[in-house]
Chains A and B, each alone.
Chain A
């Protein structure tokens, strides 16, 4: 059942994976530069008009999540094809739809002037006070919709391939072994993770598509009444699930590669299976923690949001992060940029969720929600967690066995790590001091935080530029298996 396909990737599939990642590396760099510009503007070091600031903010938010999802889906595809037969045409179709969607989004933002943030909370897209037109908002949302369709196709192919081999979703999640003491071989970690991602992200994308269609109709037919709280629930369900599913896809690289580096297996056992099944439910049910300050929500939903946020941290800490520590401990691992970034990613993810979980405490959220505390925790676990996983995977693909790690690569690692920790740390310090998020201009009392953050942002950009340059220039030597 668990035999591995280690044949060379078909040429079209290899090109597809490398194109996904090459585009991702470049877009990461551009989006990081956009982030730097925003922090410099908040520091008052450069002049950026508010409309352009908010356009950049919109592009940065949607762009970072979108490109992370693209790169993470490449990770999933690359490893999953070792276990099941995936369709190369769908891999490319997703990429084409993604690029078409990006064109619509960029057109809406930089041509049409749409600056309603990735959250597109109703009714801001249609109520801009003349800053952007209905068509700009529509272009942005249609772009998201097209990208969603691409990913939906991608996930449908993933689940088709998994079901062909494992015959049912419970089997792919290891439920017979977990609940019925079956002595069948445990499904591999990649199968379990991929199945979970398909379940939750299909739900997330469908919720996103529903709310986008509702809001598109409202854009052109304002008499079509829309409830602001309902749309907010759908948007945050979609956004929360989508970004989390992205991390759960990227972590497959950790499950697959740390064993390769340490020559130790990442053992799938009942604890692992239980953790992933529990995460599947919790990642969907926990989203009300984004709505704790919406007092119109039922109190039970807020309390559930808090409790599940705490509970959702357990599988990460006790299974995945702890598993990474165990497998590396006294393993004689050979450190190179790939293994270093993958291990760093486990630290970044685990440490970064701590301020996030604390923020899900209702009484804390009362003084932290929508302050810089929020970008503080998500930049921590995305920069040092998710993005580190993805750059680690890119290094793995183009790193030749036995190749020495150059001084430049070491410097890039240090710059990226220090810059990310400092940059996210300054967000957290700003959050502690109640600086609101998403403000184009800051009060004089807050400027020093943005100045320091800008310096750290430069380190990130330099580090990431080296990562991206290394990956793209070494593409011809990329692995074929």
Chain B
């Protein structure tokens, strides 16, 4: 299945290639000297078309991505949701529990005990699934439903000092709810 990461890369590549194509086309024909008065009107007409395409693209992209948003305030709360408190500290995570059941809404209440951190959830293929910032003085609610059981890692995604790159915690997602969730 194509994940959003791959889709974003492919989309970027396609659009960047279109831009490259336009520039290469112009370079190839740059040596032919034509009166600017003949080039300009055609170019202006094409620009109106380009403006329309970009505008429609922007509207479609906005309409198709603006809902649902990943923010907790935008999510519907499930009855059996699991609440986990997360505190980022230089340079480790403190989680109120290090496991959660599969296919259950988990709300991570993320804060920081010192500096800014970034709480990123990685799957076993090292793909980032969701994230939020961990900030002193604030609690950010990250709502996530794990679709597969297995081992996950919580990595720091905001530079926080000397050992930032080693700020990793393990997290397991289980098929069957453990005692504390029953």
Contact = CB atoms under 8 A, between A and B. Distances in A.
Contacts of B118: 293, 369-370
B61 A361 contact: yes
Contacts of B15: 354
Nearest to B43: A326
B43 A294 contact: no
B39 A326 contact: yes
Interface stretch (A62-70, A240-248, A303-311): A303-311
A127 B157 CA distance: 18
A295 B112 CA distance: 14
Nearest to A446: B126
Contacts of A347: 19-20, 23
Contacts of A445: 126
A296 interface: yes
B132 A329 contact: no
Nearest to A352: B16
Contacts of B61: 310, 361
Interface size class of A (residues with CB under 8 A): 35 or more
Q: Interface of chain A, helix or strand or loop or mixed?
A: helix
Contacts of A37: none
Contacts of B58: 310-311, 313-314
A358 B131 contact: no
Q: Interface of chain B, helix or strand or loop or mixed?
A: mixed
A96 interface: no
Contacts of B129: 367
A330 interface: yes
Interface stretch (B29-37, B98-106, B170-178): B29-37
Interface stretch (A74-82, A170-178, A199-207, A434-442): A434-442
A351 to B, nearest CB: 4
Contacts of B5: 367-368, 432-434
A361 B65 contact: yes
A119 interface: yes
A322 B159 CA distance: 38
Contact of A314 (B23, B54, B158): B54
A325 to B, nearest CB: 5
Given A362-B69, A363-B65, A370-B158, A329 B6 contact: no
Interface stretch (A215-223, A227-235, A400-408): A227-235
A279 to B, nearest CB: 15
Contacts of A124: 115-116, 159-161
Interface in B131-160: 131-133, 135-142, 155-160
Contact of A318 (B6, B20, B32, B51): B51
20 contacts: A50-B165, A51-B162, A54-B159, A123-B115, A124-B160, A127-B114, A129-B162, A131-B161, A293-B118, A296-B138, A318-B54, A329-B39, A347-B19, A358-B11, A359-B8, A367-B130, A368-B8, A369-B118, A370-B157, A371-B128
Q: Across chains A and B, which 10 residue pairs bring their CB atoms closest together, nearest first?
A: A332-B33, A439-B165, A434-B128, A295-B140, A330-B34, A432-B9, A310-B58, A326-B43, A370-B157, A438-B159
Interface of A: 50-51, 54, 115-117, 119, 121-124, 127-129, 131, 227-229, 232, 264, 271, 293-296, 299, 302-303, 306-307, 310-311, 313-314, 317-318, 321-322, 325-333, 335, 343, 346-347, 350-351, 354-355, 358-359, 361-364, 366-371, 373, 428-429, 431-434, 436, 438-443, 445-446
Interface of B: 4-6, 8-9, 11-12, 15-16, 19-20, 22-23, 26-27, 29-34, 36, 39-40, 43, 47, 50-51, 54-55, 58, 61-62, 65-66, 69-74, 90, 114-116, 118, 120, 122, 126-133, 135-142, 155-166
